[in-house]
Amino acid sequence: MARTPSKFAFTLIILLSLDFAHGFYRSLSPEKMGLKKEKLSHLHFYLHDIVSGSNPTAIRVAAAPTTNSSATSFGFVAMMDDPLTEGPEPNSTLVGKAQGFYGSASQNEYGLLMVLNFVFMEGKYNGSTLSVLGRNKPYSKVREMPIVGGSGLFRFARGYAQAQNHLFNLTTGDAIVQYNVYVLHY
């Protein structure tokens, strides 16, 4: 006996096609996407920005002809793949990476444009990311940068990150930066 599609399957096909019957968009209830209650998470980790030695985690990729004569290195751009660890020691548990770039975007005082993703690799957030787009004044005690989105468990994320130097080596330029991230997500 030949199998015929069930009534259920037909209904489903009709419903799916009706969803987009009026074009390329539709409204959807948050519940349908499994979005129930927004929650607030606090993440705490240390970022290791190593610019010296034979294995730097942040490298200069671009500069303007005038960058070296600028007091703020205006025009300088570095790409980073900085380890994020649970504690401040370099051999502390790796929880993720900060991948992206920063560039000197200010002519009058030292101010960096930060464009990066926190890529988490540990615990329940393994595989999830948070995206940062903000301004970083590295010589201020506490710098705040917006969290503009996320993926995986951080879908629909928004919040802010606060960065504070734990250790800054003036000789090498290497830095260990403490991050406190407050993020709303589902």
Ligand X SMILES: *[C@@H]1O[C@H](CO)[C@@H](O)[C@H](O)[C@H]1NC(C)=O
User: What's the rounded Cα separation, in Å, for the pair 148 and 57?
Assistant: 24
Distance of CA 44 to the CA centre of its chain: 14
Interface with ligand X (CB under 6 A) = 65, 68, 89, 91, 121-122, 126-127, 169, 171-172
Tell me whether residue 38 or residue 89 sits nearer to ligand X (CB atom).
89
Q: Which is nearer to ligand X, 120 or 179 (CB)?
A: 120
Cβ distance 156 to 185 under 8 Å?
Answer: yes
Which tokens hold the place of 12?
């489903």
- Closer residue to ligand X in complex, CB, 68/107: 68
Kindly state the smallest distance separating residue 96's Cβ from ligand X, in Å: 10
Q: Which residues contact 69 (CB under 8 A, 6 or more apart)?
A: none
Whole-number minimum distance, CB 29 to ligand X, in Å? 31
Give me the least distance between CB of 68 and ligand X, in Å please.
Answer: 4
